[in-house]
Structure 1
Amino acid sequence: MRRTPLLALATALLLGGALAQQPATAAPATFAHPGVTVSRGQLDFARGQVLAGAQPWKGAWDQMMASKYADPNRAPKPRAVVECGSYSNPNHGCTDEREDAVAAYTNALAWYVTKDARYAQKAIQLMDAWSAVLQDHTNSNAPLQTGWAGSSWPKAAEIIKYTYGGGWANEARFRTMLRTVYLPEIINGSHSNGNWELSMMEAAIGISVFLEDRTSYDKAMAKFRTRTAAYVYLESDGALPKTVPSQNLDTRDKIVKYWQGQSTFVTGLTQETCRDFTHTGYGISAISHIAETSRIQGQDLYGTDVGERLRHALGFQAKYENGTAVPSWLCDGTLKPGLGPITEVGYNALHNRLGIAMTNTEALTRRSRPAGSNNLFVAWETLTHGDNPN
């Protein structure tokens, strides 16, 4: 049942009060599985809707199954060293790794909906191929590449490990790959644009859930909370946005430069809004994914400043993505749209579960359905989260 705005506000206040009683970064005493971005209840709801032929889930399912990621003849393309320069130039295995990871997740979802073991075995084939050979990520984009691919692998692994009973002989090797190749590259964060660290923390938290690594989960969650506050501006932050202390953005001029030259700060503006909406979408997506994983793991961040920043970031960007004229004070009057298929998770959590009005986000979400993949780390979220009550 959809909550009224008044009930939503009361719920948020209660959640905020409850969260204040516990450490802000506490990992659960017992991890929930499958529990990276999508829960068993959400999977069951999506499956039921698809099997019933209900929309928009059936359309989202058809879109997924028609994609290259569901191709039963897909051959994995692993390599020992993935080298990714700026903007993936050079691109030595970067696209292959990201897309094989998305394909593993796609096949894991296909397994859950159909219960056809061939899809589970395909997901395992892809995960096994990479865990057999991957040793390192190199060049300037290595941390971001690791974050992107590392966001998809644990989503696939969680579904396979905890719902497929057909066996996964090389699971331990896959776990070792996540622990030794991925986690060290991302766990200490980044001082680049905010979407980097947010994507890296998404991967670190997802991997920590799969590995049941409470220490890494706590470390990544703490970095996530700090970065989210520094990525999305709220009026309550004061005259200037919050910063990540280690970046030493200690003057107004430094902060304005880091915020792409934007000197007027309004609620919902992000650190990369004036760069382009595509990279902004990466950051917003990672915030929503981490908040969703945290909720599944028993700590609902939607009732904290994370949810407030996510709500306003979605609404602010959606307003202009929907065609509102850009005022001259915002990014010199010019924006680069292209937010991507990233609104479903946050919209469902904040609007459908909490009953918060999100007019601009709702309009963008509904006209963009079914949300597909950005071919990096976002995939099939109308299917998994669209109007999902769980």
Structure 2
Amino acid sequence: MNGVTVRRTPLLAVVASLLTGVLAAPAAHSAPAAFAHPGVTVSRSQLDFARAQVQAGAQPWKGAYDRMLASKYADLNRVPKPRATVECGSYSNPNNGCTDEREDAIAAYTDALAWYVTRDARYARKSIEIMDAWSATLTGHTNSNAPLQTGWAGSSWPKAAEIIKYTYTGGWAGQDRFAAMLRDVYLPVVIKGSNSNGNWELSMTEAAVGISVFLEDRASYDTAMARFRTRAAAYVYLASDGDLPKTVPSQNLNTRDKIVSYWQGQSTFVTGLTQETCRDLTHTGYGISAISHIAETSRIQGQDLYGTDVGERLRQALGFQARYQLGAAVPDWLCGGSLKLGLGPVTEVGYNALHNRRGVAMTNTQALTLANRPAGTDNLFVAWETLTHGDNPN
């Protein structure tokens, strides 16, 4: 099977592996003594670098900026579409405000980035207009996809708010009401986590971390980061984990059969495989992206997780998925010999952190990243990362 050894594990070893995966929880993560702002996924120094490159007409940043500015998200005539209750069923069916909320949140972030690069106050005011419209209206999310929807939109809002609050000097009268929306509508949902597929909890945790930074909520930050360490370890398999992947204690995945079922029927575990690889690479990309965003926010806030197992899991997950996204033949032992591709624009943050900053070789990830430049948006919660993180040394 292409050099992969399938191990048939004795019962005692299986039990030991399960206990290790369930009981060996990662060490707690502490909030910084003082939060850095802007500090959700992108820092001031990263923004300054991107701005300087765009102004100099340097590539790939100028091309990335032009793509962003030409998108519907940067349209200064955009009219936000808030509603009191956003109802999202499975796969957004029904879709009562789901797309509107996610896309308005991305638009607010897009306008915040455009403001920072151009210093054109119209973009800052448009970002504020969108955030104010939602904070004056939204009261909650309903139906089966409500937690995930809350995570997706809740990941974009604080990125926009951080840039506007800490760099725009024209004033934002509604910022306290916006903070209240994040605190009262989003945070209570996303801080609870999820026992669904791992991309749910990772996206929700990304939102919880970003919101905690904006609110300077140390307790919520600590809670979210502790959950992240557990979930990231349970989402990406490393050979060092043992014969079976690590698990999240609350999911009670206490037999090999349960774990295999949760891993989409995949029974051969190899380094870089994720819990959703055999579902499809699109959802896998959501999980990988959230891992990279949380790790980047953590680094900005003073604790670099890229040198821990988080960084290794991110590196291996990116490389494993990138290989097949680039067209490598899928072996029979992997997902029955067939993969659903569609990884999405999710490689820039992890590639920059691990390859450019830490000097780690990432051949497949590099090839995919360069081929996809300038990266755009997935229209959910990932946006413009060639501009913000492409070969960014900060």
**TM-score of the superposition, structure 2-length normalised?**
0.93
Deviation at 1:25, TM superposition (A): 1.0
- Distance across 2 between alignment mates of 1:218 and 1:154: 17
Unaligned runs of 5+ in 2: 1-25
Contact 2:318 2:347 in 1 (8 A): yes
Residue of structure 1 in register with 2:249 after alignment? 245
Q: Secondary structure at the match of 1:83?
A: strand
Between the aligned partners of 1:246 and 1:277, the Cα distance in structure 2 is 25
Q: What corresponds to 2:203 in structure 1?
A: 199
* Distance apart, 1:23 and its partner CA: 6.0
SS of the aligned residue for 2:136 comes to helix
Matched residue of 1:133: which SS?
A: coil
Report the residue type matching 1:305 in the other structure.
D
* 1:114 alignment partner, one of 106, 118, 121: 118
Question: % of aligned pairs identical?
Answer: 82
Equivalences for residues 139-158 of structure 1 within 5 A: 139-158=143-162
User: Does residue 178 of structure 2 align to residue 163 of structure 1?
Assistant: no
Per the alignment, residue 335 of structure 1 pairs with 339
Aligned partner letter, 1:25: H
**Given residue 102 of structure 2, which amino acid in structure 1 is its aligned partner?**
R
- Structure 1 alignment gaps of length 5 or more: 1-21
Cα distance change on mapping 1:23 and 1:251 into 2, 3 Å: closer
**2:120 is the counterpart of 1:123:** no
Which residue number corresponds to residue 43 of structure 1? Answer: 47
* Paired residues of 2:67 and 2:376 also in contact (CA < 8 A): yes
> What's the CA shift for 1:164?
0.3
The one-character-per-residue Cα deviations of 1:332-367 (angstroms, maximum 9, x if unpaired) are 000011000000000000000000000000000000
Q: Deviations over 1:356-389 (max 9, x none)?
A: 0000000000000000000000000000000000
How many angstroms apart in 2 are the aligned matches of 1:322 and 1:228?
A: 24
Opposite residue 239 of structure 1, the aligned amino acid is D
Deviations 1:126-178 (A, max 9, x none): 00000001000000000000000000000000000000000000100000000
Which residue of structure 1 lines up, in the alignment, with residue 4 of structure 2? none
State the partner residue of 2:14: none
State the Cα deviation string for residues 71-122 of structure 1 (Å, max 9, x = none).
Answer: 1100000000000000000000000000000000000000000001000000
Residue 257 of structure 1 corresponds to which residue in structure 2?
261
Q: Report 1:15-26 matches (<5 A).
A: 24-26=28-30
AA partner of residue 53 (structure 2): Q
- Alpha-carbon distance in structure 2 between the residues aligned to 1:201 and 1:185: 10
CA distance in 2, matches of 1:160, 1:302: 28
Correspondence for 1:236 among 221, 227, 240: 240
State the Cα deviation string for residues 190-221 of structure 1 (Å, max 9, x = none).
Answer: 00000000000000000000000000000000
Q: Which amino acid aligns with 1:72?
A: L
Aligned amino acid, residue 383 of structure 1 = L
Match of 1:13 in 2: none
1:48 & 1:337 partners in 2: Cα distance? 35
Residue of 382, 385, 388 corresponding to 2:389: 385
Shift of 1:40: 0.2
Runs (4+) of structure 1 exceeding 2 A deviation are none
Q: Deviations over 1:33-59 (max 9, x none)?
A: 000000000000000000000000000
Could you tell me which amino acid in structure 2 is paired with residue 314 of structure 1? Answer: L
**2:28 & 2:179 partners in 1: Cα distance?**
27
Match of 1:65 among 31, 55, 69: 69
Q: How far has the Cα of 1:322 moved from its partner?
A: 0.6
Q: Distance in 2 between matches of 1:251 and 1:217?
A: 32
- How far 1:24 sits from its partner (Å)? 3.4
Distance 2:194 2:27 in 1: 24
Partner of 2:18: none
| Distance in 2 (alpha carbons) for counterparts of 1:116 and 1:141 | 37
After the TM superposition, which residues 210-289 of structure 1 pair with which residues of structure 2 at under 5 Å, given as runs? 210-289=214-293
SS of 2:141 mapped into structure 1: strand
3-state DSSP class of the match of 2:87?
Answer: strand
Q: Any conservation in 1 of the 2:87–2:95 contact (CA below 8 Å)?
A: yes
Q: Offset of 1:312 from its aligned partner?
A: 0.1
Decide whether aligned partners of structure 1 residues 23 and 316 sit closer, same or farther in structure 2, where only a CA change above 3 A counts.
closer
- 1:26-37 alignment, distance < 5 Å: 26-37=30-41
Amino acid in structure 2 at the alignment position of 1:317: Q
- CA distance in 2 between partners of 1:275 and 1:93 (Å): 27
Indicate the RMSD between aligned Cα atoms, in angstroms: 0.8
- Residue 317 of structure 2 is matched in structure 1 by 313
Q: Does 1:290 align with 2:312?
A: no
Partners in 2 of 1:203 and 1:95 — Cα distance?
Answer: 17
Q: What per-residue deviation string (whole Å, max 9, x for no partner) do you get for residues 291-310 of structure 1?
A: 00000000000010000000
Letter in structure 2 aligned against 1:238: G
Match of 1:11 in 2: none
- Partners in 1 of 2:258 and 2:288 — Cα distance? 23
TM-score normalised by the chain length of structure 1: 0.94
